[in-house]
Amino acid sequence: MTVTGPCNSPDVVDVVALGESMVTFLPTRPGRLADVPSFERAIGGAESNVACMLAAAGHSARWVGRVGADGFGDHLVETIGSYGVDVSAVRRDPDRPTGIYFRTAGDRATDAHEVAYYRAGSAASAMAVGNVDEAALGACRVLHLSGITAALSDDCLALMRALTAPRPGRPLVSFDVNFRPGLWRDADGPRVLLELARRADLVFVGDDEAREAWGLDGGRAVREALPEPRTVVVKHGAGGATAYDRNADGTEDGDGRATLVPAPRVDVVAHVGAGDAFAAGFLSATLRGLPVRDRLRHGHLMAAAALTVPGDLAAPPARDHADRLTALDEGAWGKLRLGPGWTGTAQGAEEEVRTP
């Protein structure tokens, strides 16, 4: 897949990400929300996470969103901007608040994990076709969206349909399914997400959410349900990820086979943010024109950076560091084991690779 920009204007950036970002409160110790005495403030938002990690990795990125005219909105804009993300197109809503949420310290895959969202009626839920900066959204090589935005309100869904509609000069549309059943107000969520995914050029979806949302079992079934996108990436958690990439001649990977790349072993600190980080790594490599295998490996490495820190956002490895790991042969890649602090290693693969 070759990514080209719509024009040579200096306002054109590599990636624009549109969506809701919220202030998140992380517990200072494990336990139930009812028992945790204090929290530390951070930020969270699937699309802004991708923008922040791409900016930190050296790409030009813009976040388009809507926040309240309140202190939490100030914090979001300032923090996201501090990563080098262009936040000039963020709109402030004088009547609606910035969304916030609290979560427990445990793995969200366990029954003990709790998340308390306070986002109903948020400023972001008022995003609509007529109140976002259309010029800022179009001036990019890649427009990154997620299914979360479609669930926020009817106006947000209409905006998503407008942004994914085929049109001349449309940037490459990247869509992370991000199926969150609790956000949808009715049973139409899976159908809507399938509709939006089929209108995208690049789709990210976990095999677990494909089963839950669409009843599809296995990557090939997902690809068959999504024939239109040029690239479909199916994530298998710790099992790796498979990319189905269609070439210009209509074939996939030249010989019809998918590309499966196993994930390195990771000493996990927290699972939050890993999916967003994977998308950022894959998009970074896509923007650089790297082959599919390397795009998947960069996705895994960026996800490993997020998995080895407690919050949603992590400092990515330096580009030459990630390229060196991506170039490992299959045997060496299979022996990778990454732990906290690995992204700061600068003296070669041996210093961040631990083998069993």
* Token reading at 235: 């994530």
The DSSP secondary structure of 277-321, one letter per residue, reads HHHHHHHHHHHTT--HHHHHHHHHHHHHHHHTSSSS--PPPPHHH
Q: Compute the Cα dihedral for 181, 218, 113, 272 and give only its sign.
A: negative
CA–CA separation, 22 and 296 (whole Å): 28
Q: Which residues contact 347 (CB under 8 A, 6 or more apart)?
A: none
> Smallest Cα–Cα separation from 177: which of 215, 158, 203, 211?
203
CA trace torsion 304, 305, 309, 315 (10° rounding): -170
Q: Note if 208 is an active site residue.
A: no
Distance of CA 183 to the CA centre of its chain: 17
Distances (CA, A) of 344 to 307, 336, 347: 14, 16, 9
One of 14, 93, 176, 276 is an active-site residue; which one? 276
Contact predicate 101/115, CB 8 Å? yes
* Token reading at 15: 């990636």
Residues annotated catalytic, as ranges? 276
